Structure 1
Amino acid sequence: MLALKGLIARFPARSVRKPSHERFWRRLSPPQLFVGSFLLLILLGTLGLKTLPGLYTGPSLSWLDALFTATSAVCVTGLIVVDTATYFTVWGQAFLLLLIQLGGLGIITFTTVLIVALGRRLSLRQQALAASVVEAAPHVNYRQLARDVVRFTFLIEGIGALLLYLGFWPELGGREALWPALFHAISAFCNAGFSTFSSSLVEFRANPVVLSVVMLLIVIGGLGFLTLEELYLWRRSIRARRRFRLSLHSRLVLTTTALLLGIGWILFAFFEWKGTLAELPIGARLLNSLFMSVTARTAGFNTIDYGQATEQTSFLTILLMFVGGSPGSTAGGIKTTTLALLVLLAISRMRGQEIPSCWSRSVPHEVVQRAVGLFVVAVAALMLGSFVLTATEIEHGVTAPGSFLKYLFEAYSAFGTVGLSMGVTPSLSTTGRWIIILLMFVGRVGPLTFAAALTLRRHRTPQFRYAYEDVVVG
């Protein structure tokens, strides 16, 4: 027996090495997996735009333009270098719509739903990805949320398509209204901004049904699936006569969204009343002013020519594009909750309070720090992107000096995944297109998530800190 033990000690059992691809998969952090899923979808979309037959009415896109278009579709932005209405066939538009739908919902959501539907247990990493959006609302079941994301999406898009069909019917006819209704329903809910009309929705600026339905789809898609799930549970609790409290997250989302839409509505009406909206009747002016406030929140549809708008309108649009939609939605930007937390932080500091609070709830310190970090990183990325974009376009002779506002508008539109433009997208140089592609991608996955995906994982966390020392601020 002793001899056998000695023999075993001399030849220890060798651990079974897992395949290299499995080790690589397990080494990926949740941010890297999330960013990688969008990157993979963009690459597949680019290959599809270059290799699939029957997508174009003429010659196919170049590799760079295919990458630009695929990124814009997957990142639900809407910036285009070619006219979607005339350059693509119906099959080409359908392929773009597939990329928009997958990019709007996110590959991770589809994966989670598939795993849950098959009855398999989620891994810890998959649970971290699925549950990251419900940390603010522990009463929400992430498995149920994953199912409801897809269910809500297809239900809302289906109802929106039916209503848009009724809105398009009088002007396009029954048969011709089918495809635009479906396309714009999905594009609006995903906040993509792609349109099957060359002028976007300019020719329907006097159609209250089309504009109202598109606005409603944009707002619902920009609220975030967590807020939609809570609103659904709140409605069920009313029917069952049970008490249900909306989380602080959803309250901030709804309040900030309403304030931004209302303030934008008033200011846009004031700036453009005698400008681009002057030829419309009063009711249509008010409706289009509201539409401008809604679409600037990362939707990208337009009913006016932003190249002819006042500078006040352009700057207000930039501010709204920078904020964007809400977390867990199809929208981009720094998100409404980040703006709300920064405002709460400023108010608490002016009151001499250390911890921001709202509705009898205090916000954790690490959440506030995350909001501040996101704001700083976003501002830095946009300042750098705007500077480099303007410099390269002037250097390549694409534009003359003095067009800074147009390229600032373009950079913020790309980062906020909005899709509005002052008409400079098709004329961008090669370098300019690469900059916009990068801004669209970072804006969709989130600057903090993108930075976390690039960070090498540390095996050991330092258990010390340096000494404190004050710094004068202000």
Structure 2
Amino acid sequence: MFIIRNIKLTYTQIIAFGTLAIMLLGGVLLSLPISSRSGDSTPLINAFFTAASATSVTGLVIYDTYSHWSSFGQVIILFLIQIGGLGFMTVVTLFSMFLRRRIGLRERRLLMESANTLKIGGIVLLIKKILIGTFIFESIGAILLFIRFYPEMGLKSGLFNAIFHSVSAFCNAGFDIMGKYGEFTSLTRYSKDIVVNITVMTLIIIGSIGFVVWDDIGKNRLNFKKYLLHTKIVLTTTAILIFVSAILFYIFEVNRTMVNMTISEKILASFFQSITPRTAGFNTINMTRLSESSSLLTIILMFIGGSPGSTAGGIKTTTFVVLIIGAISSAKHKQDLSIFKRRLENNALKRASSITFIYMFSTLLSICIICGIQDFTMKEVLFEVYSAAGTVGLSMGITPYLNSISKLIIIVLMYGGKVGSLSLALVLAEKKEVIPISRPIEKIIIG
């Protein structure tokens, strides 16, 4: 950590550049001949794309992970997913703990920024809880998946598959190594398997609600009234999104992609499809066969994403809720934003609006460029772009056919989705001294 103390950058810049450095290193390692199953070097742009997708826990892939990458390459991808899920500073802190180095105030502020926590006090203890909790959840998930994989894959392959998919699900990465049963099939082979579905869905939800929520639940157990306002918003919004989306997916797909399933299988698939678009990236049904309504609903869920301080992307559930509360308050001509008998801070709506605008501007610009340089349908590009920006990983199958410019655009979107659209804007913005000048007020017509 002594290196960080001598770096004259803002906390946001250190996190952003640290994440970028890991992506670049991962790209170099994946480009080596040892990383590919054929023993040939992988083109650097494709290797960097895969590394960026793994580190940003997105899951968009140019190559089928099992078919193209060797065991070494798959392990590198697994490490990148784990680092991306935990966060750059959490991993650095882990090494500092092993080396028994003292974690100073500057590092603690970095950890607070990285974990998206509300206060600096107890941040090191929280990081320890994150590391222990991650290990426990991923281990339980791996054991449950191993029980299912072992009979058909054997000990070695079954164990590695269980660990890989448990880590990928918990980190909301969406990477899979099921290519032996068909390239780019994800978990469609297990669409009717209750153990695999429930395990993966549970890991995705736990990983997407955020570390602050974990800590709050750990302290207050099931006493909802004692939870932080942040926790109440996250849990309530997550539950509503899951159940409402599952009902809608069932209605939209009951006589289409799920027509040959039993009622219980349709319900299982509907819930899986309602959970995975919020940054997980796995799929148990063929995404290219979704109805127009389901495709739009999936894009909306990818846009919202998970919750702050988690392994998920998107604008985040809290941002979504603040925008809704802001709209309702504006319609009622109220100044304050209130929810669960609490008033939100004054700049909450401004920050939420900024995040959403940057997110929308970057995605719409990307869609215009990709549509202009490649012959894809608008639906395919919309799906791909929002999947990248939300660090989801779902695709209509166009990822392997992106040209170099489109790949670079998707890489930037995945990177921005990982570090946060507003954070990336702050990193790229020139730092200037703010002069406190109060300008004259003049009204304009809005709406």
Q: Do they superpose with TM above 0.5?
A: yes
Alpha-carbon separation, structure 2, partners of 1:37 and 1:139: 21
Which consecutive unaligned segments of at least 5 residues does structure 1 have? 1-20
Give the TM-score of the pair, scaled to structure 1. 0.88
Q: Pick closer, same or farther for the CA change 1:165–1:67 going to 2, 3 Å.
A: same
Partner of 2:51: 70
Give per-residue Cα distances to partners, 1:324-379, cap 9 Å, x unaligned. Answer: 10001111100000001111111222222101011121101112211111011111
Alpha-carbon offset, residue 465 of structure 1? 1.9
Alpha-carbon offset, residue 140 of structure 1? 6.7
Indicate yes or no: 2:116 matched with 1:143.
no
What secondary structure, in the 3-state scheme, does the structure 2 residue paired with 1:177 have? helix
Give per-residue Cα distances to partners, 1:409-441, cap 9 Å, x unaligned. Answer: 000000001000001111111111111111111
Residues 109, 120 of structure 2: 8 Å contact kept: no
Amino acid at match of 2:379: L
Query: In terms of mean alpha carbon deviation, does 246-255 or 52-61 score higher?
Result: 52-61
Computing the radius of gyration from Cα coordinates, the structure with the larger value is: 1
What secondary structure, in the 3-state scheme, does the structure 1 residue paired with 2:288 have? coil
Amino acid at match of 1:274: N
Indicate yes or no: 2:419 matched with 1:445.
yes
Residues 356, 363 of structure 1: 8 Å contact kept: yes
Partner of 2:351: 370
Indicate yes or no: 2:260 matched with 1:273.
no
Alpha-carbon separation, structure 2, partners of 1:335 and 1:465: 32
Partner of 1:332: 313
Indicate yes or no: 2:397 matched with 1:406.
no
Alpha-carbon offset, residue 70 of structure 1? 0.6
Query: In terms of mean alpha carbon deviation, does 133-142 or 364-373 score higher?
Result: 133-142
Give per-residue Cα distances to partners, 1:11-43, cap 9 Å, x unaligned. Answer: xxxxxxxxxx98995321111101001100011
Partner of 1:469: 442
Partner of 1:229: 215
Query: In terms of mean alpha carbon deviation, does 436-445 or 118-127 score higher?
Result: 118-127
Indicate yes or no: 2:18 matched with 1:37.
yes
Alpha-carbon offset, residue 214 of structure 1? 0.3
Aligned length: 441
Alpha-carbon offset, residue 61 of structure 1? 1.3
Report percent identity of matched pairs.
38
Which consecutive unaligned segments of at least 5 residues does structure 2 have? 180-184
Q: Pick closer, same or farther for the CA change 1:244–1:359 going to 2, 3 Å.
A: closer
Indicate yes or no: 2:183 matched with 1:202.
no
Q: Pick closer, same or farther for the CA change 1:103–1:461 going to 2, 3 Å.
A: same
Amino acid at match of 2:63: V
Q: Pick closer, same or farther for the CA change 1:58–1:313 going to 2, 3 Å.
A: farther
Alpha-carbon separation, structure 2, partners of 1:23 and 1:157: 30
What secondary structure, in the 3-state scheme, does the structure 2 residue paired with 1:60 have? coil
Map 1:126-141 → 2, pairs under 5 A: 126-132=107-113, 137-138=118-119, 141=122
Q: Pick closer, same or farther for the CA change 1:391–1:173 going to 2, 3 Å.
A: same
Residues 279, 314 of structure 2: 8 Å contact kept: yes
Alpha-carbon separation, structure 1, partners of 2:106 and 2:423: 15
Alpha-carbon separation, structure 2, partners of 1:23 and 1:173: 45
Residues 385, 413 of structure 2: 8 Å contact kept: yes
Amino acid at match of 2:357: V
Give per-residue Cα distances to partners, 1:268-309, cap 9 Å, x unaligned. Answer: 111111111111111111100100011011000111111111
List 4+ stretches of structure 1 deviating above 4 A.
Answer: 21-25, 116-121, 133-140
Q: Pick closer, same or farther for the CA change 1:101–1:328 going to 2, 3 Å.
A: same
Map 1:231-246 → 2, pairs under 5 A: 231-235=217-221, 245-246=226-227
Indicate yes or no: 2:398 matched with 1:424.
yes
Alpha-carbon offset, residue 457 of structure 1? 2.3
Residues 33, 41 of structure 2: 8 Å contact kept: no
Q: Pick closer, same or farther for the CA change 1:390–1:246 going to 2, 3 Å.
A: same
Query: In terms of mean alpha carbon deviation, does 313-322 or 364-373 score higher?
Result: 364-373
Alpha-carbon separation, structure 1, partners of 2:225 and 2:120: 10
